[in-house]
């Protein structure tokens, strides 16, 4: 690939990173099903438990695991934002690899030009 093609590919990847950055969240989601506080509720005997209740967990600044509850109305948005974070990481690695290829191409061009 030429230097110009590598730079174009990198620029497209950076545009995608900027797009993903607007939505992404760090963490992982878990779904739980629970019993409620009403002893006569169906969830304590024959019926299904209440849920799914979604929680997002992540490593906080102190290095300890922390998290938060996600209201049902935001489940879809949060799952999309967590997926955006994973995609962001993948594309960021791709950008770093393209930067390395660009650097090598520039170095090669300097050697050829310096002869």
Residue 101: per-residue pLDDT:
96
pLDDT per residue rounded down to tens, the chain (115 residues): 899 999 999 999 999 999 999 999 999 999 999 999 999 999 999 889 999 999 999 999 999 999 999 999 999 999 999 999 999 999 999 999 999 999 999 998 888 876 5
Bridge partners, residue 59, by sequence: 65
Q: What angle do CA 101, 103, 107 make, to 5 degrees?
A: 115
Q: Tell me the pTM.
A: 0.79
CA distance 104 to 81: 35
Q: What phi and psi, each to the nearest 5 degrees, are found at residue 48? A: -70, 155
CA distance 91 to 13: 7
CA distance 82 to 79: 5
Residue 114: per-residue pLDDT:
60
């Amino acid at each position: 690939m030429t230097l110009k093609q590598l730079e174009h590919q990198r620029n497209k990847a950076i545009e995608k990173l900027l797009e993903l950055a607007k939505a992404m969240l760090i963490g992982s989601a878990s779904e739980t099903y629970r019993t409620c506080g009403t002893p006569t509720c169906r969830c304590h005997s024959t019926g299904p438990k209440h849920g799914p209740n979604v929680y997002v967990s992540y490593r906080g600044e102190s290095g300890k695991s922390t998290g938060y509850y996600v209201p049902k109305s935001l489940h879809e948005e949060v799952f999309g934002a967590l997926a955006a974070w994973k995609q962001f990481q993948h594309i960021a690695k791709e950008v770093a690899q393209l930067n390395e290829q660009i650097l090598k191409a520039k170095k090669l061009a300097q050697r050829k030009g310096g002869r």
